[in-house]
C-alpha cells in the first residue's frame, strides 16, 4: 500500500488531464485493495448531484442511469457528511440494502470522500473485495488498513484533481478569450476593409462624376448626329448603314458607362423599412425571366417560409439581386442552373444549434436572414476573386460590362447594414451570399 501511495503521489503531479488521472487512480487503488468493482464520482455544485467520471469492473451501460443527489444513497451521504462508510455486505445491511445499485452487487463496499480543505469534491466507491492469495486467505471485507490507505491516498488525489480542474478552467478561459480576440480582430478587419473600400469609392466617385458630366454632352451630340445621318443618307448603301449602326451602339455603350459612373458617385437616399426578403427575390427573378429563358437556365427556388422581416430598401435590394442574376446569366451562355435560397441564420449559440458565427468570411453573431445565389457557370479566376468589388473590375469581354455593378451592389447592401460575399464553389460556378442582420431584440 505504501508503494502505491508513493507512486500515486508522484504520478498525480505529472498527469494534467483529469480524465487520465482519474482512470489511473481508480485502477491502481482497486488493484491495491483487491476490489472487483469501483467508481469515482465528482460533485456538481450547481446541480447538487454526483456524476460518475471513472468506473471499472462493470459495463458502462449499467452505470448510465447512476446519478445521485448529494445526501441520497451511500455515496450521496458520504459527499454530504464527509465521513467514509464501510459495509461488510451491502445487501445484508438493513441500513443500506435499499441503496445498493445492481451495478455494484452485494458483498463488501467502501465509500471514501475526496476532500480539498473543507470542500468535498467527490467520492471513491469500491465493492466486492476479493480473497487474497495468502494462506489462510484474507477476509473479503474491507479493513481499517484499507480505509487508512484510501484516506491518505484521497488526500493527495484531491489536490491533484483540484489542480487539474483549475488547469481545465484556465484552458477553457484562454480558449474563450482567444475566440473573443479573434471575433474582435475579424470585425476590425472587416471595418478596415470597408473603410478602404469607401475611400476608394469616394475618390473614384468624385473623379467619375467630373468625367461623366464632361463626356455626356459630347456623346449626346454624337448620338444626335448619328441619328441625323441615318435619316438623310441613302438607305441603299449597306456599308454606311452598318457603320452608323456600329457608331450608335458604341455611343449607347459609352452612355451606359457614364450612367454607371454617375450611379457610383451619386448620393443615395434610402427608403428603409421592415421588409420580407422572399417577395423581393421573387420579383427580381421575374424581371430577368426573359433572359433566363433565352439562355436555357433552370431556376431552383428554395425560399424558407416565415422568415422575419429585416430593415432594408426593397427597390435598392431588387437592383442588387437583378445585377447578381444578370452576372450569373452571362456566366452561363450555354445554359445551366441558378439556385436561389433564403434562410434564417440564428444567432451563434442559439436554439438552432449554430455554434459558428460566420458564413464564408461574413460574421453573423447577431443572426441574419441570408440570400444565397449559386450558378453553374465558369467561376472567377482564383487570382481575381478578391478584386470583384473593385470599381471598373470585370471578367467579361470588352464591351460586355463596365465593372461598376458589383461595386455599386456592395455599396447598396452595406449602406443598409448588410454584407455581401462572393466566392467560387468547389463544384464549379459562383456563390453570392448576402446577409441582412436581424434587428436587435428581433426574432
Same domain, 425 and 298: yes
Instruction: Look at residue 128 and tell me if it is in a domain.
Output: yes
Closest by CA to 152, choosing from 112, 108, 111, is 112
Residues sharing a CB contact under 8 Å with residue 291, sequence separation 6 or more, in sequence order: 326, 329
Give Rg (Cα) of the chain. Answer: 37
Contact present, 112 and 105 (Cβ < 8 Å): no
Structural domain containing residue 150: 2-171
Q: Kindly state whether residues 302 and 160 are assigned to the same domain.
A: no
- 80: which 3 cell numbers? 454530504
176 located within any domain: no
Number of separate domains in the chain? 2
139 in the same domain as 282: no
111 in a structural domain? yes
Contact present, 40 and 118 (Cβ < 8 Å)? no
Helix, strand, coil percentages (3-state) for the chain, rounded to 5, are 50, 20, 30
Does residue 275 lie in a domain region? yes
Residue 96 lies in a domain: yes
User: Distance between CA atoms of 57 and 103, rounded to whole angstroms?
Assistant: 9
Task: Supply the CATH number for residue 135's domain.
Answer: 3.30.450.40
Burial 70-91 (b: 16+ CB within 10 A, else e): beebbbbbbbbeeebbbbeebe
Residue 338 lies in a domain: yes
- ∠212-330-299 over CA atoms, to 5°? 130
Contact 85, 74 (CB under 8 A): yes
Grid coordinates of 276? 420580407
Q: Are residues 20 and 166 in the same domain?
A: yes
CATH number for 411 = 3.30.565.10
CB of 44 within 8 A of CB of 165?
no
Same domain? For 416 and 307 the reply is yes
- pLDDT lower than 70: segments of the chain: 1-16, 59-67, 94-106, 131-139, 194, 197-213, 235, 256-257, 259-268, 347-366, 390-404, 440-443
206 assigned to some structural domain? no
Residue 422: Cβ-neighbour burial (10 angstroms; 0-12, 13-18, 19+): buried
Q: Is residue 147 part of a domain?
A: yes
Domain stop point among 119, 152, 171? 171
DSSP annotation of 106 reads: S
pTM: 0.45
| Residue 317 near residue 357 (C-beta atoms within 8 A) | no
If DSSP codes are grouped into helix, strand and coil, which group holds residue 233? coil
**Do 164 and 302 belong together in one domain?**
no
pLDDT digits (tens, 9 = 90+) for 383-442: 777 777 766 556 555 445 444 578 788 888 888 888 898 999 988 899 999 999 887 655
Q: What burial class does residue 214 get, using C-beta atoms within 10 Å of its C-beta: 0-12 exposed, 13-18 middle, 19+ buried?
A: exposed
Whether residues 162 and 282 fall in one domain: no
347 SS3 class: coil
Q: Which of 171, 198, 218 is the last residue of a domain?
A: 171
Helices (H), 266-312: 277-287, 289-294
Rounded distance between C-alpha atoms, residue 195 and residue 121, angstroms: 53
Last residue of a domain, one of 130, 153, 171: 171
Which residues contact residue 413 at a Cβ distance below 8 angstroms, ignoring those fewer than 6 apart?
A: 317, 320, 419, 420, 434
Amino acid at each position: 500500500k505504501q508503494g502505491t501511495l508513493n507512486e500515486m503521489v508522484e504520478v498525480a503531479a505529472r498527469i494534467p488531464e483529469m480524465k487520465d488521472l482519474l482512470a489511473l487512480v481508480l485502477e491502481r487503488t482497486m488493484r491495491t485493495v483487491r476490489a472487483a468493482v469501483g467508481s469515482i464520482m465528482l460533485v456538481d455544485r450547481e446541480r447538487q448531484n454526483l456524476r460518475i467520471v471513472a468506473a471499472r469492473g462493470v459495463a458502462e451501460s449499467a452505470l448510465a442511469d447512476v446519478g445521485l443527489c448529494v445526501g441520497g444513497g451511500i455515496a450521496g451521504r458520504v459527499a454530504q457528511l464527509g465521513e467514509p462508510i464501510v459495509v461488510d455486505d451491502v445487501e445484508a445491511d438493513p441500513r443500506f440494502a435499499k441503496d445498493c445499485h445492481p451495478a455494484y452487487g452485494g458483498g463488501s463496499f467502501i465509500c471514501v470522500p475526496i476532500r480539498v480543505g473543507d470542500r468535498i469534491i467527490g467520492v471513491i466507491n469500491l465493492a466486492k473485495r476479493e480473497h487474497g492469495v495468502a494462506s489462510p486467505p484474507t477476509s473479503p471485507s474491507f479493513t481499517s488498513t484499507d480505509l487508512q490507505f484510501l484516506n491518505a491516498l484521497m488526500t493527495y488525489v484531491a489536490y491533484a484533481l483540484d489542480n487539474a480542474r483549475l488547469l481545465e478552467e484556465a484552458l477553457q478561459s484562454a480558449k474563450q478569450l482567444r475566440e473573443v480576440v479573434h471575433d474582435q480582430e475579424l470585425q476590425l478587419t472587416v471595418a478596415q476593409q470597408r473603410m478602404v473600400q469607401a475611400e476608394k469609392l469616394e475618390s473614384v466617385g468624385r473623379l467619375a462624376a467630373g468625367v461623366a458630366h464632361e463626356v455626356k454632352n459630347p456623346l449626346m451630340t454624337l448620338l444626335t448626329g448619328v441619328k441625323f445621318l441615318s435619316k438623310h443618307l441613302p438607305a441603299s448603301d449597306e456599308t454606311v448603314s452598318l457603320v452608323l449602326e456600329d457608331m450608335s451602339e458604341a455611343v449607347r455603350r459609352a452612355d451606359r458607362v457614364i450612367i454607371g459612373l454617375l450611379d457610383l458617385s451619386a448620393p443615395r437616399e434610402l427608403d428603409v423599412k421592415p421588409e420580407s426578403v422572399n417577395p423581393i427575390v421573387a420579383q427580381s427573378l421575374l424581371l430577368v425571366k426573359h433572359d433566363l429563358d433565352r439562355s436555357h437556365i433552370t431556376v431552383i427556388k428554395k425560399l424558407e417560409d416565415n422568415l422575419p422581416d429585416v430593415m432594408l430598401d426593397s427597390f435598392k435590394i431588387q437592383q442588387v439581386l437583378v445585377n447578381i442574376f444578370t452576372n450569373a446569366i452571362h456566366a452561363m451562355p450555354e445554359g445551366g442552373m441558378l439556385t436561389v435560397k433564403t434562410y434564417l441564420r440564428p444567432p451563434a449559440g442559439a436554439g438552432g444549434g449554430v455554434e459558428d458565427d460566420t458564413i464564408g468570411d461574413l460574421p453573423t453573431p447577431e443572426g441574419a436572414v441570408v440570400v444565397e445565389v449559386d450558378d453553374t457557370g465558369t467561376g472567377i479566376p482564383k487570382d481575381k476573386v478578391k478584386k470583384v468589388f473593385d470599381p471598373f473590375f470585370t471578367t467579361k469581354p470588352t464591351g460586355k460590362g463596365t465593372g461598376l455593378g458589383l461595386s455599386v451592389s456592395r455599396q447598396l447592401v452595406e449602406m443598409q447594414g448588410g454584407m455581401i460575399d462572393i466566392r467560387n464553389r468547389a463544384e464549379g460556378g459562383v456563390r453570392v451570399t448576402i446577409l441582412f442582420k436581424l434587428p436587435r431584440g428581433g426574432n
